[in-house]
Chains A and B, each alone.
Chain A
Amino acid sequence: AQSVAQPEDQVNVAEGNPLTVKCTYSVSGNPYLFWYVQYPNRGLQFLLKYITGDNLVKGSYGFEAEFNKSQTSFHLKKPSALVSDSALYFCAVRAFLLAWSGGSYIPTFGRGTSLIVHP
């Protein structure tokens, strides 16, 4: 089965401290990995992606993520958290589902992690 796991329902961090939101995945073949953020009463916004190349990818709002193939992980990080970073974060992986056209890749999402940054 192809899946994404976000082991923490909630992460609490003090403003100014580094933050990590964890994600592990299981997928056949090479993964395409994504992070999205959802602010209250808003849709999901794309943060960053890993396709190939450098294992450390940089994205919007100062976030970065590290791809670790041996640990099948793609943790989201930020060196210094802001209160405004408080939101729901989703990890996603491209998974393969059969369609009439012969097959394609559909993103599969984790359950989300609520990040709370305290002043």
Chain B
Amino acid sequence: DADVTQTPRNRITKTGKRIMLECSQTKGHDRMYWYRQDPGLGLQLIYYSFDVKDINKGEISDGYSVSRQAQAKFSLSLESAIPNQTALYFCATSDPDGPGELFFGEGSRLTVL
């Protein structure tokens, strides 16, 4: 089983719908992240969390919200999806005691029509 699991892997939805992307991890890491990948733009940080009570906005948080339900679970929500949120979304974790390399899930491809 994967250490970082994202669901769903693929989702097609319509403008205005609420969408939740879920992430769970078995690595025991306190730090979790949500990134968005667009072609040619690399990875952009949406939100990050250093523990259950610590949630912070990244560089592109507008239109998104998150919930850290437990150490192992970190969900990303789009309250009212719009077409320019069509992208590949990645969840990642890191060990706070380590140098900082990230461990990624396989990604969630979201298409907003």
Contact = CB atoms under 8 A, between A and B. Distances in A.
Interface stretch (B11-19, B64-72, B95-103): B95-103
Given A9-B40, A43-B90, A105 B107 contact: no
B22 interface: no
B54 A42 contact: no
Contacts of B40: 9, 111
Contacts of A44: 43, 90, 92, 102, 104
Contacts of A55: none
A34 B101 CA distance: 7
A83 interface: no
A94 B54 contact: no
Contact of B101 (A49, A99, A108): A49
Given A99-B54, A101-B54, A104-B50, A46 B42 contact: no
B8 to A, nearest CB: 14
Interface in B38-83: 40-43, 45, 48, 50, 54, 56, 58
Interface residues of B, number: 25
A112 B102 CA distance: 16
Nearest to A113: B42
For the residues of B in contact with A, the DSSP-based class is: strand
A94 B96 CA distance: 13
B45 A49 contact: no
A49 B106 CA distance: 21
Interface of A: 9, 32, 34, 36, 41-46, 49, 51, 90, 92, 94, 97, 99-101, 104-112
Interface of B: 4, 33, 35, 40-43, 45, 48, 50, 54, 56, 58, 90, 92, 94, 99-107
21 contacts: A32-B99, A34-B100, A34-B101, A36-B102, A42-B107, A43-B104, A43-B105, A46-B101, A46-B102, A49-B100, A51-B99, A90-B43, A94-B99, A97-B56, A99-B54, A100-B54, A100-B56, A106-B48, A107-B94, A110-B42, A111-B42
